[in-house]
Chain A
């Protein structure tokens, strides 16, 4: 009995060790989004290409879509851009852009030279919609279902692996849900 007691510190050490070791491999950037399951926050923003055209939630609703937060000042967005271009060509789902805290001219120029994967671009220069979406850095993407509910949030640039392993399976599932709802 007494010898067992002597092993208690070792046991505590082992438990702590395992917990802390596991902690090394957690990604601190991966935060739960509170908005998953919530509708896209209501907004009224100018279209990036045209200051006179006001867009709101109805403009981006109706089908499963990808909301992508981007900006010209964001290096990871440049890394992500070629993938978005390829994705747009595949016509799987519409990609809506949120041009986040950016300058209009720079953004328009970037899309003209690098290509435009977005169906529509919202000009969120004040970061108001970004704030309501709980965005803390670009790029960030949201999978939105046919009813306009945010179903998944992806922080960081989407690449081939993230798409095939995480996002595409969810897109397929959401699209199946949408078809089911349409049939009824």
Chain B
């Protein structure tokens, strides 16, 4: 399995506080990698460094190709839409950021695949929480990325919207797109992830499939494992 991104020995400090402390992380082709860990564990800083948003104080990030930005899609925790723009116009703007000029019918078809066809001409800010998340994900898929980062994609969504977003992630994985997502929902992580990396204290505390982790640590559930490993570290 090809390694898409390899981070070695990442360190990030804010003043005297070390948030990421010599962290190693690899992201492989075709996998659904869940990054979990308590708030303040270093997940966001790690992702920011991997995505080139922050410079590591030490360590190295290698990408599988020269121009990774063209092949990576990113959905942040917030749903960043242009104020006053419809779903279709937001899609058009973000497509343009990747040098694409899709026609309206292509955009509508793309929105339809994310079950947003009827909402295409609605102000993005007026969409429901689930629709906004799906639109944010749809925007990251416009340029057919090989790898997609989703930061807490189901946070603050109702059960129906969660199910819709999970379905979208599953269909992405089925189509061969590598997915990296963060979540605090262990059931969701168990259902979606082919590999899990638990970050705690700025380091990878455990990594593997859910079954490997449960067997290694003798836990009955991911939630139990999470609490046990993060308790020890705190």
Chains A and B form a bound pair: no
